[in-house]
Amino acid sequence: APRPPVLNGTLWVVAGEQVSLTCGASSHPAPIVTLARGRRVVATAVYEPQVRLELPAAAPEDAGEYLCRAENQHGASSLAFN
């Protein structure tokens, strides 16, 4: 199963600022990494080690819990963040 995802990016965001973060996990075979907010998938990387989220200007409606999930045929692991 994939190792638990690791998040690299902005820790604090102010409305109007650009947001750029990556979430990645390692596994063999390579994982499918998905970044979702609620039930809506906002970014996916198929058989790549990481997925990237870019927001040109953060808005209050972008706030909330996100989930980074890495999965392959051996299992899945995830990381939630706000």
Give the mean pLDDT of the chain.
93
Sheet with 32-37: list strands edge to edge. Answer: 40-46, 32-37, 66-72, 75-81
The CATH class, in words, for 6-81 is: mainly beta
Backbone angles phi, psi at 63, to 5 degrees: -70, 155
Express each pLDDT in 18-63 by its tens digit. Answer: 989 999 999 999 999 999 999 999 999 999 989 999 999 999 999 9
User: Which pTM was predicted?
Assistant: 0.89
Is-contact 23 51, C-beta < 8 A? yes
